[in-house]
Amino acid sequence: MASPSDSQTASSLIETIQLEHVPSSYTVLVGLFKDVSNAEFLQQQLLGRNSEYEYAFIDASSVISRIQVLAAVYKAITIHMSGSMKTPNVHSEIVCSLSPNNNISEAYRRFGITPSSSKHLIIVKVLTPLPAITTTTTSSSPLTPQAVHQHLFANVKGTPTPFTDEVLQSGLTDWAKVRKYYKLNGVGWLDSIKDESLRRREAEVLVLGSMALRSL
């Protein structure tokens, strides 16, 4: 694994992911930053609706796998396409899509960025075909992936790290939190699975199911 400080590989640490069954006019960029020291500043930008900081900042401790994040991104994109967003933009929609219920502020608190607890952040940027619906500024020039890379590296004070299941599972996931948020504590048979990777996979599909049936 490349040293995270290696600047040559750094930009490859922001992944461009083409999701299945998503129009190619959408581009999804995902990066994982460890030990982020300016979470408070980043959250302030979100709260101030600073459009330059329009990202989905996801607290990595509430995440167990890549698939979980990608499922949230996918759901947010389908909601964006259908024009039925309940939050300001596709990025806030991603954070809410991680939640198993419809409480928006709770979703921000649990899955989004919080100055006190967010140490490791998964950051997602979705470049949408139309200029973002909530553009506050009149910046008509569309963002490029390169511009996103540069902006993230310049403004997120943390260590870019490959966004892989191995990294997430090497101690970033706070299982107590995940179990509470997705109500996995009462699921006895899950705990009795001895094979760890199998147990993780089963937990993952239960999480996906909870996300899919949010509100329904």
Choice from 55, 57, 74, 163 touching another protein (CB under 8 A)? 74
Burial call 11-39: b when 16+ CB within 10 Å, e when fewer: eebbeeeeeeebeeebbbbbbbbeebeeb
CB 107, CB 99: distance < 8 Å:
yes
Min dist. Cβ of residue 66 to another protein (A): 9
Under rule CB under 8 A, residue 47 binds another protein: no
CA-based torsion, 19, 25, 27, 28: positive or negative: negative
If binding means CB under 8 A, how many residues of this protein chain bind another protein? 27
Under rule CB under 8 A, residue 205 binds another protein: yes
Under rule CB under 8 A, residue 78 binds another protein: yes
Choice from 11, 15, 22, 162 touching another protein (CB under 8 A)? 22
Residues whose CB is less than 8 angstroms from the CB of residue 142 and which lie 6 or more positions away in sequence, other chains included: 127, 131
**Radius of gyration (Cα) for the chain, nearest Å?**
17
**In terms of CB distance, is 39 or 90 closer to another protein?**
90
**In terms of CB distance, is 74 or 111 closer to another protein?**
74
56: Cα within 13 Å, side-chain hemisphere:
32
**In terms of CB distance, is 176 or 213 closer to another protein?**
213
CB 73, CB 126: distance < 8 Å:
yes
Min dist. Cβ of residue 77 to another protein (A): 10
Which of 144, 118, 99, 148 is closest to 40 using CA atoms? 118
100 vs 30, 72, 109, 144, CA distance in Å? 22, 11, 13, 32
Min dist. Cβ of residue 7 to another protein (A): 29
**In terms of CB distance, is 81 or 104 closer to another protein?**
81
Under rule CB under 8 A, residue 19 binds another protein: yes
Under rule CB under 8 A, residue 187 binds another protein: yes
> Which residues form the interface with another protein (CB under 8 A)?
18-24, 67, 70-71, 74-75, 78, 82, 187, 189-190, 195, 198, 205-206, 208-210, 212-213, 216
